[in-house]
Amino acid sequence: MRGIEKRLAEFQAQGVLPVALSVDPPNVSADLRRKAGYTFTFLADPKAEVIRRYHVLHAGGGPDGHDIARPAEFLIDQSGVVRWENFTEDVRIRARADQMLAAARTVQ
């Protein structure tokens, strides 16, 4: 997410609006965003409704056995169509900002 923040202007120039989504309650997401210094949008999905819709629920994957979202990145167009996706099984492995920007250039 740091890479997204550092290259936020480039994402915006490509017409990409970065958004982070987690099962955390709104106040937890807001705290994380503030403490990390991120300026893009963080959304809370404590009931995992959207997370389930995109098939990224990791049932029981949280530290105390609660449901969390699998690591994933999507590029979704204005019509709601997924144009690019990246899934991993390891929370430490994410698509890099340059990979997402390259994908954004190809889907326009």
> Is 65 within the bounds of a domain?
yes
What's 17's domain CATH number?
3.40.30.10
Residue 4 pLDDT greater than 70, yes or no:
yes
Over the stretch 63-97, which tens digit does the pLDDT of each residue have?
889 998 988 888 888 888 888 888 877 767 788 98
pLDDT band at 108 (very low <50, low <70, confident <90, very high): low
Which range of residues forms the domain containing residue 71? 2-103
Give me the long-range contacts of 80-85 (CB less than 8 A, separation at least 24).
82/54, 83/107
Structural domains of the chain, count: 1
pTM: 0.80
> Is 55 within the bounds of a domain?
yes
d(CA 42, CA 33): 7
Pull the structure tokens for residue 87.
Answer: 């899934």
- The secondary structure of 55-71 as a DSSP string is T-EETT-STTS--EEPP
